[in-house]
Amino acid sequence: MRTCTVQTVLSAVFKFAPKNFAEDWDNVGLLVGDRNVAVTKIFVCLDVLDANISQAIELGAQLIVAHHPLIFRAVKNVRLDRPLGNHIARLVKNDISVIAAHTNLDKTSGGVNDVLAARLGLVDVKIPDDEEISFVRLGKLPTPMSAADFARHVKKSLNADNVRLVDAGDFMIERVGLCGGAGAEFILNAQFHGAQAFVTGDVKYHEAQAAVENKIHVVDAGHFATEFPIVHVLAEYLRDELKNFPVEVVEDTRSKDFFATV
């Protein structure tokens, strides 16, 4: 049986989420490690955090595949008394490479936003008809809902600890726009394309104000809850894509949202 290497996995990741789909400001691909190293165990997660690195070490994984890049901006020092430097040092010491698929995984077919649309039960899902590649997905609810009922539906569908509802008025929701993570910048674009509600995370006060003024409900389900479902889907994809290699893919099931209701 052929040997699976970091490069083998990187090629599989880019087959699913092409590198050229990533934004210019993003940092995707192999961020730590050696592409020629053999891999027998992969750990898939949302973030490369201390707890996730510990889990990868416990598993004996040679590779972490994450959605959020460990290294995002230029690194001017690697200080072991700072979180990033400590993370890098632990990874190198334990011979663990890191691959990130970020905005390319958001945009790609079957990626973060298609998975989010599926979790919400939307039908007739598409991207805005004036775009070829997009963060935004537009879909329909099988049965129209009130804003409050839709917010409860989102919370249950994503197993979220809480959601925030921006109620823009007394009208029902049938057409929904969405962008997992921090996608409030796309709310008005979705409204222009006919959406009556938008689902995302990290919504700010004035973005909520603009939504109300433009008559589009918003459900802020949080960055974590809107993106974490991709971990399972990415792991399943890698299991299938690498089925002819002696490699095990383990997905993160322990991570929790940083925010909790008190």
pLDDT given for residue 142 in this prediction: 98
Domain of 78?
6-105+227-251
Q: How confident is the model at residue 193 (pLDDT cuts 50, 70, 90)?
A: very high
Query: pTM (2 decimals)?
Result: 0.96
Average pLDDT estimate for 120-138: 96
How many structural domains compose the chain?
A: 2
- Of the candidates 41, 54, 45, 46, the residue with the CA atom closest to the CA atom of residue 93: 54
pLDDT given for residue 38 in this prediction: 98
Judgement on whether residues 189 and 243 belong to the same structural domain of the protein = no
pLDDT given for residue 74 in this prediction: 87
Q: At what angle do helices 6-16 and 229-241 cross, to 10 degrees?
A: 120
Average pLDDT estimate for 242-250: 97
Look at 76-80, 180-184, 228-232 and tell me which has the smallest mean pLDDT.
Answer: 76-80
The answer to whether residue 123 is domain-embedded is: yes
pLDDT tens digits, 167-178: 999 999 999 999
Judgement on whether residues 77 and 149 belong to the same structural domain of the protein = no
